[in-house]
Structure 1
């Protein structure tokens, strides 16, 4: 493994940076763009990441129009907002139906188009425009994209049935891909874009990961998904590698990183492996961007070790006891620690003499190891793959009764979308909660507010048009009113003291507000501030966490707590 230097690895014209949220896609893409531009190449950098901090990195206001960056004459930067683009796209589809179809049908259509899949489509519109624009091809030596499209998006765009007016014809019920009904004349452009992506002489997929198992597994999954579609030209960038250790915390991190890298999954083991050292500063401003890929760290400013002492999770648990909560969800994006926090809550409530049931999707086979003494605590391991498989089989069995060929293939691909798994797992959660009226139920990996609204609107839609295949299970129908009762239910927002996790949690909170689901408390997990480390690099990182903790304090109206970094952290 060698230091990542764009000048030495023979990059293609089009570069896509992809990886799990918070691994450093944006900073890696920015540093690459600046490095290449400084070498005299003409470069354009485009971001369609909803959580992008591109404006902070370059410390300038950016729009969807390419803008020159001061002090880097060869670089232009554009920052598309896919959320706004998705809303505009959604309205272009729904607008003609307002006042024509019943309100309940329009509401269902709106919710069908409110999920992450629509945002992906809006983002791919921008990708396609740049990949097929002849003026872009001739003007720039390198076209760099921050956040690559997923394999699911690319597979979906290749299906002939995706280009029909699917939303109006869908009789299966919940669909995450109805947004394709408005793509119209874009098929040829999209086909050309997909061909460019698959051409290893033109395009390189830069897989960005942290040197820890959860992020590595996510990169491996993305790599395999895209390889299956013919995108084989991939490189692995390991961001945030600690290169020295001098106290207990840094030694644990150093050894854990090396162990995880020694056990890379087979899917990515053979790709070229490059690393970026763990840096003790926020990558904002050109001075930081330019040194990010240098061989030496810049001088680290001494930082006071008198970090703030924050309240920990015990304050949140005390509130749950005092307010007699019955249903407690831990919610957050992947990698923030929902499972470990759910276990902590369940164990603490058990010690208070409460009868507790813990439901988790943690794939660990030895859950007992984490739970310890299980007296007074019941638990269930929801098998996500099993639930998803059974749900898919149920939907496809119904589809076979009326569909074949491309239409059936479309439904099959629809079921590969992210919200399908949420719905499948949620059905299992609903059954557990429905049977646990005499216990406190702590539920790990809650579905988003979008899923709640999708299920609710699908129910109304099915009644309106007398469809039978989109039925919502009785357990879910009964559960939704309970989840909207703040006296009984609490969703704990779990995040990390970093840019991407906090912004992703903000979007989750907006979803919950739309669904009228109670959420009061936030937990900032895996904080380096709370460890009081003496390692210079880690102390600097801890200092940088404070502004994000303060951000959470404001978002939560000071209803928050901070848990310190723990080793062997997975999710």
Structure 2
């Protein structure tokens, strides 16, 4: 990947995630070093609360971009200060409510900080870096998979809340707030709280469009050749597709090298071969990049360079390694079909519904409201099926406009 002046072209964002302990930080750091060595202005940042990026790069990193080597900057996000800017008033009100309910002051403060909320504000930095045009490549070492999915699904959930619940809540507050304040000591949310919620939403507005744009953003799953790790990666691929995020590669990390010939490792090598075959077949047509188990800890720029060279070979690590979008719309004769890739999804965990102009898709514990484009809003769902990892929803002919009687 060649370099260029900031703003010459759209940046690429690479998100690395996987089960805790699979080596995603090493893969992310090695990818960033390789991109920078190729001439791309690159920043690698961590949204994982258990930051290990600085250890991998063997440099001190703070909450702002820190130079690592020519063309490369690193950052370990301290989201608390960003969170306070938009969540402070809400946190204060929630703490007051919990104290009113009898919760101790310290415990009330803790309860007012929703689990995973701080990591969410890492998204704000990603959006800022993409919009700023200063970087060619933005590499993100994400939190482990469960936290990543919650992190990435928040813009969808928050948009739904802000467009439906928030206006109603605010109108209700203006109508009954003064009355409640006279008849009960329950703390009532004021304009400052609602303003804080609006700022919270504004900071994340547009994040989904960036991260779900498969031209600009790719998710890469890091796995080890272990049954539980592969099973979690399969679920992660399904949920990422559900929310519209494009996975363009799988990284099979810590494979036993062919040079290990000790008979003690024979069973391990057989097991790795079996799991690697399952990864190749199960995630097809995604490319599977391979990385052998290193003979020493992969720390520091030189070892990361060697790791990245072995992982990517002649490939440009910043390029999109697999084309395709998890959500597509096609016309078939008089019908229009919506196609949503849900790899590894099971019929028993899938539920589909329609509410006004939204298609509600639920897979296991995750639910997404897909806002239908104008071309589908006037059509009724006439069929749906899940086949070979793709959900196909068929919309029949458009309904004629309803005539109003004079």
TM-score, reference length from structure 1: 0.44
Mapped to 2, the partners of 1:286 and 1:223 lie a distance apart of 30
- Of residues 227, 241, 254, the one that matches 2:269 is 254
8 A contact 1:33–1:75 mirrored in 2: yes
Mapped to 1, the partners of 2:81 and 2:268 lie a distance apart of 39
Q: CA deviation at 1:91?
A: 4.4
- Of residues 144, 147, 150, the one that matches 2:148 is 150
Mapped to 2, the partners of 1:250 and 1:151 lie a distance apart of 35
**Aligned runs of 1:489-508 on 2, under 5 Å?**
none
The structure with the greater share of residues assigned to helix is 1
Cα 1:111–1:18 change in 2 (3 A) is same
Q: CA deviation at 1:153?
A: 3.8
Mapped to 2, the partners of 1:228 and 1:99 lie a distance apart of 37
Mapped to 2, the partners of 1:76 and 1:98 lie a distance apart of 38
**Aligned runs of 1:540-559 on 2, under 5 Å?**
none
Unaligned runs of 5+ residues in structure 2 are: 3-9, 173-192, 312-347, 368-406
Corresponding residue number in structure 1 for 2:241 = 227
Q: CA deviation at 1:191?
A: 4.0
Pair 1:289 & 2:286 matched: no
Mapped to 1, the partners of 2:292 and 2:194 lie a distance apart of 41
**Aligned runs of 1:419-498 on 2, under 5 Å?**
none
Unaligned runs of 5+ residues in structure 1 are: 1-5, 170-178, 297-385, 390-403, 418-571
Q: CA deviation at 1:246?
A: 2.2
Mapped to 1, the partners of 2:38 and 2:77 lie a distance apart of 26
8 A contact 1:223–1:267 mirrored in 2: no
After superposition, give the CA deviation of every residue in 1:327-367 in whole Å (9 maximum; x if it has no partner): xxxxxxxxxxxxxxxxxxxxxxxxxxxxxxxxxxxxxxxxx
Q: CA deviation at 1:236?
A: 0.7
SS at match of 1:199: coil
Pair 1:264 & 2:279 matched: yes
SS at match of 1:128: helix
Q: CA deviation at 1:289?
A: 1.4
SS at match of 1:150: helix
Count of equivalent residues: 290
Corresponding residue number in structure 2 for 1:81 = 78
Q: CA deviation at 1:280?
A: 1.8
- Of residues 111, 135, 140, the one that matches 2:135 is 140
Mapped to 1, the partners of 2:54 and 2:100 lie a distance apart of 39
After superposition, give the CA deviation of every residue in 1:33-68 in whole Å (9 maximum; x if it has no partner): 111111222111111111121111222221121111
Q: CA deviation at 1:196?
A: 1.6
RMSD: 4.2
Q: CA deviation at 1:182?
A: 4.7
Q: CA deviation at 1:293?
A: 2.5
Mapped to 2, the partners of 1:241 and 1:126 lie a distance apart of 34
Corresponding residue number in structure 1 for 2:216 = 202
Mapped to 2, the partners of 1:214 and 1:101 lie a distance apart of 39
SS at match of 1:243: coil
Corresponding residue number in structure 2 for 1:541 = none
Q: CA deviation at 1:181?
A: 9.6
Cα 1:92–1:27 change in 2 (3 A) is farther
SS at match of 2:50: coil
**Aligned runs of 1:154-169 on 2, under 5 Å?**
154-159=152-157, 160-163=159-162, 164=165
8 A contact 2:65–2:75 mirrored in 1: yes
After superposition, give the CA deviation of every residue in 1:142-195 in whole Å (9 maximum; x if it has no partner): 1111117734444442244423569999xxxxxxxxx99954235455342211
Corresponding residue number in structure 2 for 1:354 = none
Mapped to 1, the partners of 2:237 and 2:28 lie a distance apart of 18
SS at match of 2:32: helix
Cα 1:236–1:101 change in 2 (3 A) is closer
SS at match of 1:93: helix
